[in-house]
Structure 1
């Protein structure tokens, strides 16, 4: 088994890391203070990403993307994880689920998203339906040949900049031995559609400037042309394409952990107490050793899961393992870094308290740690009939 990067993969890593350090880092403090990304900065990041040839690099070349493999895209996301989520959002990685576009949808949604002309946002979570996706109450019913949507979504990331939304809603119920089971359909909904409103969401301690929004549907009428995939086939497109979001969370957690670790390592070497660097004390040096070991392990888990996808191998359990381990590793690394910094770690003079706050949400969104453990154990037990 070969663990090294090819020359091309190393070039990807170096290019994206340089971009993040040059185009993202300088704006982070201002975004952290204001909670906003100025439009001119967002547009500049997008423009430079397009010029670099990395916009929509997660899409195949036949639709205008860079055609990166899963491993190569994981490397891109790992390096982007070093920077502010609010800013690297404009590096532009549309939802892979848009590959399910058919007919006119390709020119209306897929290709404009890949070119950076239109931005998308994924809408699944509701106030009463987070991990329990089938518990969603937002619904669509047939009326005169159209669909009429009613209900709400919340925690919708990137909705403040989105031109259209990929929305999952209930479109029916089946009776099963385990009780009622909702059928889910995916719709493409343009901003400004009558009966559809995007509202400000909640104030979050994690990832300031990377906002969440609330979507309200009040008798929002959509034609069949807005169905993505098949009617009642929402879980099919979800299962085929949304694995990418969990790998993204895992790889970005690794990147952020490495940046945080660099701060811890340098501080342990420079900060002196009792006449010597604090890194010479086992209480600190052992933490440093544990941190890098966990980071490397999470890195291998994520790249291994991406490699399995490239080989066409089943990877659901491996992706879940990567997501749960990497996000929990990030929590431990940021907490240990803050402890090494002591009181200064909580001060906004350093970015440590930001890394610490930002780390908390990673164990929740795109599938909680509990859901990932459920996926892992289910994949192991089902073949044994349990």
Structure 2
């Protein structure tokens, strides 16, 4: 990985390296706000020097995502020289994280570095547009259906989870206060907390509470016990859908699916159901369509979809059709490890995502699943 400050010139004596030109290094630094793009770092990489009032110190480096020369694990021989030296192949880092990535390339593949870069630039853009400090960590929490914020999880006790609020992504402090005030009148399905960091969520046992501390705004939520999940092999029978997302005939009758084979379809149908479109269950469904209006194409959309997956996996929904027990819509998913968008290009409204889940009776489970995200007209 190349290490170079914006003002440094390419090293002429290393012709086998495809180094960045000065203009590219400066553009990388500016797009990163002269802060490290490594996830949860955000360290300033330029500042004043004590040497003189017109001097400055720089500890930032323009690093190659795919290696600049043969020999490195991240070297891609299929790339052209121009592609290796392009801004698309660069990421702005502090010296510590540049070195960390160099010495442990297996832990930081090119796809992860591209994701870090995109998330950091998206946070800088948010800071400029909203005129407030950009989040330095990008793990989201949702409290109820209309509030999402960036946080630091600082304590998990038996019945209380505690966070330090970094920045609101959706909603604001006044909206959180109104949620607290109106808690007793809310639909039971809207009383929840979802934590991307944990891959889990819980029903709230009491209204959230917030207070100011030396670290910032402290939010405490009382939580209920985790809802039991069922073994994925015992998922009930359902009508099967084909690759075109339609019912189909098999052996002269409508095809059916059950057990673990039913899980991909259950994820697809649950997450593709828009909140409010089921007339007998108006609070059921996800807010993915609303999120896509502001975040489609952004690296934050998969994080918001992860929150919605956690909600479907962990928050029970009382069956409106009169069945006895409530259960979580996904029934067998214990933990949502990650949700990654495979392609930004949709196919007639269907977008592919990779789900990495912890499933009851199975353990780690990975599957690519398409979700329907209708555009708001």
TM-score normalised per structure 2: 0.23
RCO higher in 1 or 2 (8 Å CA, sep ≥ 6)?
1
By percentage of residues, which structure has more strand?
2
Q: Which has the larger radius of gyration?
A: 2
More helix by share: 1
TM-score if structure 1 supplies the norm length?
Answer: 0.22
